[in-house]
Structure 1
C-alpha cells in the first residue's frame, strides 16, 4: 500500500544539441568516467573510437570486426536515443545513424581511419590554400606534403570542416598530443548549406583519454521534446512496523474501524485501504518524497574512488611537465596508477 513515484510528461522547447568525438582506445575499467565527463559537458551524442558494450544513460551502437579492440561507437543521450529511425554500417570503419528531430532529418556519421600511408590523411594545416570554402583558414599546424585526402573529400562532397571555422587558441585546436608532439587529427564535417553549427571546442584535460582530446560541436535547432519530470511522492516506512509499533498499529485499527455494510465492494476496498494508509503514516512515518540524483559512478566504494582520484591527480601532473625526462617519469607513475585504478574498478 506504499505510494509509488510517478513520472509526469511535460512538453518543453530544446534549442541546442552537443555532438562530440573522442578516441579513447579502450574503455575497459573507465567507461563510467567517460559517461561522467559527457554529462558534465552536456554532450548529447558522441562518436567514440573504442570497444565497449556498456551504455548506462547513453544508448550505444557498435561496429567492429575484432571482438576485444578497435571499432566505431556512436552513443546517444537521453534526448536523442529515441529518435533513431535507421542505422547503417559500412565495413568495420564507417557507421551512420539517421535521426528524425521534429521535421528535421539528421544523419550522424562516425568514420575511423589510420593516418598512415595512402589512408585517410587528416592534417589540413592552418591556412586554406587551394581549398577556400571548405577550409576557412583557422586550422592548426602544417599540412602534410602531397595529397590531403580529407580536404579533397570535403571539397568533392560540398562539406566544410568545422574545426577551421572558429578562431581558437592552440590548446583548443589540438586534438592529439603525445610527448612533445601536438597535432589536429579529429574533425567535424558538415554541409556548407548547414548554418546551424555555432561553435566547436576542444577540452584538453579530460582524464578518460591521455592522448586524444574530447572535441564537441554546438548545433542549434529549436524543437519540442517530451521530458519526464519525476513527481516527488512520499512513501510509508513499513520497515518500522516492528516491536511496540505493531501493538500501537493494531490498537489504532481496532479503535478507528467503521461499518461499511452499505458500501459496494470497490468503495469498501478504497475506504479500508485509505484507513490503513492513514494510520500507518501516523504510526510508522513516511519519507520526504525528494528525489536524489545519482552520478554514474555512484556504486564505487571508497577504495575505488580513492584510486580514481589518485589517477586523475597523476594525470594533471603529467600534463604540466615541460621537460622530457620529467615527462617520462610522470608517465610511468601515471600508467601504474591507471593500472591499479582499472583493477579496483573490475573488482
Structure 2
C-alpha cells in the first residue's frame, strides 16, 4: 500500500515558484497585490515522482505524479468567498471544471482546498456524493460544491468519516464555526481514502543510518581489512547459496561491519529527517537551548500545579533563558556566516559558490529528474511496454522521414536550380545555403575555401 503524503494549502506568497527544505517541497502560486494564493506540499519521497505542474492564476493549480505505473492528479483550489461577485464565482467554477476534465478518467484525482461553502450535515438529495457526516447548514456555495461533485462523479471524502465536532471545523472566528475545506476524489477510488490520525513518537522515529561520510583515511583501511578478514572466514560456508542468497549475506555482513567501524546516527523525528540548518550549532548553543526548554517545562508544570507566585517566577526564568538563547544563536550564526564568506572569497571557494548557486536553482525548479515520457497527445506514459513502443515510433519517424520542398535551414528547394540531389531524390547542400552559413561564421575565421561538385561533375569554389 502506498501512503499518499500530500497536502493543499492557501498561501499569501506572491509569484510562482517552489520551496524545498526540512523534508518537504512546496509548489505555490500567488498573484501580486492579492490576498489569494494556492499551494501543494509533498514529502521528499514523493517530490521526485512529479512529472507535470500547472498553475492557473492565484486560485487553482495542478501537480501530476506517476507512482508505480499509476498517474495521480492533485488539484489545489481556493474558491471565492461568499461576498465576492457572481461573475468571479462562475469564472472560478468554469476554470475548475475545465481543469478536472483535462484529467483522464483512468487516472486518479485528488481535489482539495478551501472551497468556501457549507455542504451541511445531511446528504439530502446527494446520496453517494455526501456521506451524511458533514457540519453546519448548507448554503448556496455548498450546493454548488455538491452539484460540481455530482457532475464529475466525485465524492466529498470529508463527509464519510465520523469525527468529533472540533475535528470537523476548519474555520473559526469568534463564535462562528464552519467547515469550508474539503477533499474530493473519484467514486471508484473513494474506498482507498483512510481517516488520518496523529502519529505516535514511536512511529515518528527514524531508523539510525550508517555514517558513510566517515569512510576515509584510517577508518577506510580498518573497514577494508575487517571486511576482508570476515568474509575470508565465511566464504567456506556459502558454497550452497545461490546468487541472491550470497548477495544478501554479503550486504548484511558489510552493513554490520560498517556500523561497528563507522558508527551510525541516533534515531530522530521525521521532521528532522530532511536535515535542519545545523551546521552552525555549537555546544554552547545546544546548552542554552536545552536550558530554555527546561525552563519552559517548569513554566507549564507551575501553571498546572503551582501557585501564582511560582508561575510568575517560572515565567521570568523562562523569558530570561529564551532571551539568552536567542542571543547565543544570533552570535553563533553570525560567526559561522563570517567564516563561510571568507572561505567563499578565497580562490578555493569559487567552486563552492557555483555549487551553492546550483543547489538553490535546483530547489526552485518545479520538476526534478523526470523518468517518464509523453505520447503525441502530451499524456504521460507509465508502462514499460508503452514507453518502449513510443521510443520505437519516435526513432522510426526520425530516421525514415524525408523532407519535401524545404530543408531544415528553411530554404525552399523548389525555387533553387542549383540544388544537387542524389539518385534517391534526397536534396543536398545548395550554393545559397553555403553563402548563408559563411555569413554566420565568426570574424575570427580566416580564409575559407570550400569545394563542391555539382551534379554534372563541374567544380566550383567559394571564398569567404
Change in 2 beyond 3 A, CA 1:229/1:305: closer
2:62 paired residue number: 96
Q: Secondary structure at the match of 1:193?
A: helix
1:36-75 to 2 correspondences below 5 Å: 44-50=5-11, 51=13, 53-66=19-32, 70-75=36-41
Change in 2 beyond 3 A, CA 1:195/1:146: closer
Aligned partners of 2:80, 2:10: CA distance in 1, in Å? 11
2:165 paired residue number: 170
Change in 2 beyond 3 A, CA 1:190/1:234: closer
Q: Contact 1:89–1:96 (CA<8 Å) still a contact in 2? A: yes
Structure 1 position 76 matched with structure 2 position 42: yes
Change in 2 beyond 3 A, CA 1:147/1:108: closer
Structure 1 position 130 matched with structure 2 position 91: no
Which structure has more strand as a fraction of its residues?
1
1:315-334 to 2 correspondences below 5 Å: none
Q: Contact 1:173–1:184 (CA<8 Å) still a contact in 2? A: yes
Q: Secondary structure at the match of 1:62?
A: strand
Structure 1: unaligned runs, 5 residues or longer: 1-14, 19-43, 204-227, 240-272, 279-285, 316-336
Query: 1:113 pairs with 63, 79, 86, which one?
Result: 79
Indicate the structure whose relative CO is greater, using CA pairs within 8 Å and at least 6 residues apart.
1
Change in 2 beyond 3 A, CA 1:149/1:163: same
Which piece of structure 1 moves more, 144-153 or 79-88?
144-153
Alpha-carbon deviations, 1:15-45, whole Å to 9, x = none?
Answer: 1324xxxxxxxxxxxxxxxxxxxxxxxxx21
- Bigger Rg over Cα: 2
Change in 2 beyond 3 A, CA 1:185/1:231: same
Structure 2: unaligned runs, 5 residues or longer: 90-114, 199-206, 226-259, 301-318, 331-464
1:143 paired residue number: 138
Which structure has more helix as a fraction of its residues?
2
Aligned pairs, how many? 223
Q: Contact 2:157–2:182 (CA<8 Å) still a contact in 1? A: yes
- Could you tell me the TM-score, scaled by structure 1's length? 0.51
Change in 2 beyond 3 A, CA 1:287/1:84: same
